[in-house]
Amino acid sequence: MKHHTITLAAAICAAPLLASAGQTVEEPVITAPPSSPWEFRITPYGWLTAIDGTTGPDGFTTDLDASFSDIADVLKMAAALQMEARYDRWGFLIDGFYANLGQSGQTPGGRVNVDVDFKQFLGEFDILYRVCESQNHFVDVYAGVRYNHLELDLDISGQEQNLPVSADKDWADPIVGLRGQWNINDQWYLAGKGDIGGFGVSSDFTWELQATVGYNFTPCFSTEIGYRYFDTDYDDGGFTYDVAQAGLLLNFNFKF
């Protein structure tokens, strides 16, 4: 009797195992947490620019014609940073560029001393909209405002006279533009950007073109090298700033 009781109990315990023997056991599915719809980029950059044009207050305008090597000799400080945030097709971009140039010297004969100090800040805020995108490319249109701040201090002394000249100007220009990127492969890509603005609101006209070749070291870090050309024609209250800046551009992109 005891033997039959043990056998019956074993059969009852084994029944569920036998019933499920022909069924497939589903493994638990582990899903990754949803990624954020936001994308961010921080780009410190260097713009090795040359300058060509005319600037200064009425009666004291100066013709500028300086290569980057000339500017490097008188450069006191420079800094540049760009930040971008995107959500789906929309995004916004902030760009800031600052340079401080200074030089002291004498006119031929050494009778007159000349001290020049020039500061420039370019700030830009844009709203972007992605009009098309694929695995190999994207195209954005954008509109925004570019802020200009200039400080020019000129001190001419000698022959028992001192002639200080100073100019401090701020203005903002509306701009509209287009930018895009084409991925050659997983590492290499081409990028470009161009805009126009001013339209007589502040500057008579301003425009910019930029083209770079980029390389992705990781999904989060890339570098670009290329060329940037920026031109502004501004005239107000006797102050003239008709200047083109152009030169090598180096970008360092951090994405997250």
What's residue 105's pLDDT? 60
Joined together, the tokens standing for residue 111 give 């009778």
Q: From residue 9, how far is each of 4, 16, 21, 149 by CA, in Å? A: 9, 13, 19, 91
Contacts for 130 with CB less than 8 Å, ≥ 6 apart: 86, 89, 90, 91, 138, 139, 140
DSSP state of 220: T
Distance CA 253, CA 223 (A): 6
Q: What are phi and psi of 214, to 5 degrees?
A: -120, 160
- Alpha helix (H) residue ranges in the chain: 2-19, 68-74
Residues 201 and 175: beta-carbon distance below 8 Å: no
Q: Which residue has the higher pLDDT, 11 or 137?
A: 137
Distance CA 158, CA 105 (A): 12
What's residue 183's pLDDT? 97
**CA angle at 169 for the pair 167 and 174, rounded to the nearest 5°:** 160
Query: 239-255 and 188-197: which strand pairing?
Result: unpaired
Q: Is the pLDDT of residue 8 over 60?
A: no
The domains located in the chain, with CATH, are 37-255 (2.40.128.90)
pLDDT, average across residues 85-89 = 96
What's residue 1's pLDDT? 47
Q: Is the pLDDT of residue 87 over 90?
A: yes
What's residue 215's pLDDT? 98
Burial of 156 (0-12, 13-18, 19+ CB in 10 A): middle
pLDDT, average across residues 118-146 = 96
What's residue 158's pLDDT? 64
Residues 78 and 98: beta-carbon distance below 8 Å: yes
Q: Is the pLDDT of residue 116 over 50?
A: yes
What's residue 161's pLDDT? 61
pLDDT in tens, 189-239: 999 999 999 999 999 999 999 999 999 999 999 999 999 999 999 999 888
Q: How far apart are the first and last CA of the chain?
A: 73
What's residue 185's pLDDT? 96
What's residue 63's pLDDT? 83
What's residue 96's pLDDT? 97
The set of long-range contacts for 225-232, using a CB threshold of 8 Å and a minimum separation of 24, is 225/249, 225/250, 225/251, 226/191, 226/251, 228/47, 228/49, 230/49, 230/206, 231/206, 231/207, 232/148, 232/173, 232/198, 232/203, 232/206
Q: Is the pLDDT of residue 124 over 80?
A: yes
Distance CA 153, CA 75 (A): 15
pLDDT in tens, 24-63: 445 555 554 557 889 999 999 999 999 999 987 776 777 8
pLDDT in tens, 142-201: 999 999 999 877 776 666 666 666 778 999 999 999 999 999 999 999 999 999 999 999
Burial of 24 (0-12, 13-18, 19+ CB in 10 A): exposed
What's residue 118's pLDDT? 84
What's residue 70's pLDDT? 87
Q: From residue 238, how far is each of 59, 60, 109, 163, 241 by CA, in Å? A: 8, 10, 31, 18, 10
